[in-house]
Amino acid sequence: MAPLLAVRDLRQRFDVSGSIFDRLRIRNGRITAPRRIVHAVNGVSFEIARGEVLGLVGESGCGKSTLAKTVIKLHEPTGGAIALDGEDITQHDFHRMRPIRKKMQMIFQDPYASLNPRQRVRDIVMEPYLENAAGPVPDVAERALALLAKVGLGREHADRYPHQFSGGQRQRIGIARALSVGPDLIIADEPVSALDVSIQAQILNLMMDLKDEFGFSYLFITHDLSVVRHISDRIGVMYLGFMVETGPKDAIFENPLHPYTQALLAAAPVLGTPLPPAADAIKGEVPSALNLPTGCPFRTRCPLAFDRCAVERPELKPVAGGHSVACHLHDGGIAAA
Amino acid sequence: MTALAQRFLASELFHNYRRNASAIIGSLIVLFFAGMITIGPWVVAQDPYDVAQLELLDSFKPPVWLEGGSPQYWLGTDGQGRDVLASIVYGSRISLFIGLTAMIGSCLIGTTLGLLAGFYGGRLDSVIMRIADIQLSFPSVLTALFLMSAFGTGVEKVLIALISVGWVVYARTVRGSTLRETQKEYIQAARVSGLPNAKIILRHVLPNVLTPLIVVATIQVGTFVLIEASLSFLGVGVPITKPSLGLLIKNGFDVLFSGLWWISVFPGLFIMLIVFGINLLGDFLRDELNPRLK
């Protein structure tokens, strides 16, 4: 069966050079107007099956959020292809995206910025549904209350405004909004990272309960490894806009292959045990997405980098059982050596 | 309605208002003028523009407390025997009508342009904002004076002149807030919901950029009353048949140094009073509605 979401070689670049006057530079006595291009997503491919949760991890600024927002077409992709349910939506304009909105929804990171402060809760949660409804909806009030009940809010909450709620409650409202159209895929962009730790588990459990009830899939973006371990079926690890490793949750956690994944997992503290020595392995800063390194994007910080890493960019290649890695160390002969 | 009134009485705005003397004075002055322009014409004894009611024998009467003053004319009369107080009541109506109408017109045009510039950005934004910059580089009285010299006198021409200098401040304020609001995730959520741009602007952006405009709009009424008075005083404002407060000052100005001071001075005091009241109220609203000052 075809996957629900298939992303092929997706690229997203942003020209941040501004107007011609901002670009003008004098270099070596010559006037130039260089462009500044942010390479946010650089050829990422992945698939999500029905009912599956793909957790996307990586440090801040690695292009996770941009990838999510490109998949849902908040940004127009620079290259590659996005297929939802077998339908290529890469080039879809506003009108052709309309039926897609019912299949794909999003939960946002900041529960304080993602709700319009001037809208009542009942209007917020029903907005996607009403916008995509074929005709008038006579039972809009009942539907709103039913949605709120699904996320654990009562009818007394329906007429309030967002500022009257806590962060966790606001995120519940955001989840209800995404649910209103009955989507097949929900893209969750760091949905709990802005919440208190004590609230995070509640919201995660709610999200998993809803998934079990409705059977949709998640593309779950986070930088928190314990969150990703809790909810994911499969995991993708991103670095500087590249997917460096992907595979089933257990394979990634038990047998991480990419040096970046290894360092990432080692750096996550476990209560009661001292950090392993590999936790210090990542040195230096993430390179600028304006100026990507040649070859492997991770080579500037990789403790195991060798000559080939500087000249050839590693491809994401399968190693075993749906586990893929983009690293020359695991590329046939050299890995053995 | 009572629920709304109760919410207002319990609000922070009302709480601070009750403890702010200048806000109370300002709103009382504004209320006084609101009463004056609505029921004033039925209170004063005379319609100064109905020639049948004028007595030429009563011309140049001083205010009632001076020697020769008549209790019929509290603030004295002008050269045609018009009651100065009645003239002020009728003149305030014209001044405030012009101030309010021009404010509403500027607000509508400026807000629309600011929303479009801030939301769509790009070339549209550049064009609108460059026009606004050029407009702002000239003092607004000068621009209005120039426009009026080209148009000639007339209430509707004053309105056009005031609106063409007044829209800029709304456009800039709204553009700034729009840029800030469109960065927020609820706008992205609206896009993901499939809302077309027009609905996003009207339902999501507009309600969130309106608050700072209340302050701008309040203070602008006062500014417009002043500009209109300047124009009328210089003879390029309203026609003689519709004398605003500014035109009343001009009418009395010729005889000001003959000791007949009351014809000019009282309309002048009323202009001062209304602008003072509006600015007190505007300052209070600015302090209350600006989140950065909290």
Give the pLDDT band (50/70/90) at residue A333: very low
Residue B277 predicted with pLDDT over 90: yes
Token reading at B126: 């550049």
Token reading at B261: 């001071």
- B192, B203, B204 ranked by CB distance to A74: nearest: B192
Place of tokens 């530079």: A25
For residue A242, the model assigns a pLDDT of 93
Give the pLDDT band (50/70/90) at residue B10: confident
Tell me how far apart the 2 most distant CA atoms of chain B are, in Å. Answer: 78
Name the average pLDDT for chain A.
88
Total domain count for chain A?
1
Residues of B with Cβ-Cβ distance to A97 under 8 angstroms? 194
Task: Kindly state the percentage of chain A with pLDDT values over 70.
Answer: 95
Mean pLDDT, residues A186-205: 92
Would you call B293 an interface residue with chain A, using a CB distance cutoff of 8 Å? no
Residue B53 predicted with pLDDT over 90: no
Q: What is the pLDDT of residues B210-233, one digit of tens each?
A: 888 988 999 999 999 999 999 999
Residue A278 domain flag: yes
Q: What is the pLDDT of residues B80-122, one digit of tens each?
A: 878 888 899 999 999 999 999 999 999 999 999 999 999 999 8
Nearest CA in chain B to A98: B194
What is the distance of C-alpha B77 from the center of its chain?
27
- A74, A97, A118 ranked by CB distance to B207: nearest: A118
Test A74 with B191 for CB contact under 8 angstroms.
Answer: yes
Position A130, amino acid: L
- The answer for A30, left when phi > 0, alpha when psi is -120 to 50, beta otherwise, is beta
Count CB-CB contacts under 10 A for residue A135.
Answer: 5
Kindly report the pTM of this predicted structure: 0.85
Q: What is the pLDDT of residues A254-288, one digit of tens each?
A: 999 999 998 888 887 777 777 666 656 667 778 88
Mean pLDDT, residues B50-70: 79
Name the average pLDDT for chain B.
89
Give the pLDDT band (50/70/90) at residue A334: very low
Would you call B11 an interface residue with chain A, using a CB distance cutoff of 8 Å? no
Place of tokens 């000068």: B142
Task: Indicate the domain borders of chain B.
Answer: 37-293
Token reading at B3: 């629920």
Q: Domain range spanning residue A332?
A: 261-337
Count CB-CB contacts under 10 A for residue B75.
Answer: 23
Residues of B with Cβ-Cβ distance to A131 under 8 angstroms? 193-195, 199
Q: What is the pLDDT of residues B14-46, one digit of tens each?
A: 888 888 899 999 999 999 999 998 888 888 877
Residues A70/A10, Cβ–Cβ less than 8 Å: yes
Q: CA A63, A66, A72, A73: dihedral to nearest 10 degrees?
A: -130
Test A101 with B194 for CB contact under 8 angstroms.
Answer: yes
Angle at B232 between CA B228 and CA B237, to 5 degrees: 80
Residues 59-88 of A with CB under 8 A from B: 69, 72, 74
Q: What is the pLDDT of residues A209-237, one digit of tens each?
A: 999 999 999 999 998 888 998 899 999 99
Give the pLDDT band (50/70/90) at residue A147: very high
Q: If you count DSSP H runs as helices and E runs as strands, how many of each does chain A have, helices first?
A: 12, 14
Q: What is the pLDDT of residues B135-145, one digit of tens each?
A: 999 998 999 99
Residue B77 predicted with pLDDT over 80: yes
Inter-helix orientation angle B155-182/B84-120, to 10°: 40
- Look up residue B257 and give its DSSP letter: G
Asked if ipTM goes beyond 0.95, one says no
Alpha-carbon distance of A174 to A108, in angstroms, equals 7
Q: Is the dihedral of CA B179, B181, B186, B190 positive or negative?
A: negative
Residue A125 domain flag: no
Residue A335 predicted with pLDDT over 70: no
Test B208 with A117 for CB contact under 8 angstroms.
Answer: yes
Would you call A101 an interface residue with chain B, using a CB distance cutoff of 8 Å? yes
Task: Kindly state the percentage of chain B with pLDDT values over 70.
Answer: 98
For residue A277, the model assigns a pLDDT of 64
Residues of A with Cβ-Cβ distance to B186 under 8 angstroms? 113-116
For residue B45, the model assigns a pLDDT of 72
Q: What is the pLDDT of residues A103-137, one digit of tens each?
A: 999 999 999 999 999 899 999 999 999 999 888 88
The more confidently predicted of residues B96 and A332 is B96
Residue A258 sits at φ, ψ, to 5 deg, of -75, 135
Residue A40 domain flag: no
Distances A326 to A7, A11, A281, B278 between C-alpha atoms, Å = 17, 17, 19, 68
CATH number of B37-293: 1.10.3720.10
Would you call B291 an interface residue with chain A, using a CB distance cutoff of 8 Å? no
Size of interface A-B (CB pairs under 8 A): 56
Token reading at A241: 């806009």
Q: Closest Cα partner for A298 from A247, A238, A223?
A: A238
For residue B60, the model assigns a pLDDT of 81
Residues 125-184 of A with CB under 8 A from B: 127-128, 131-132, 174, 177
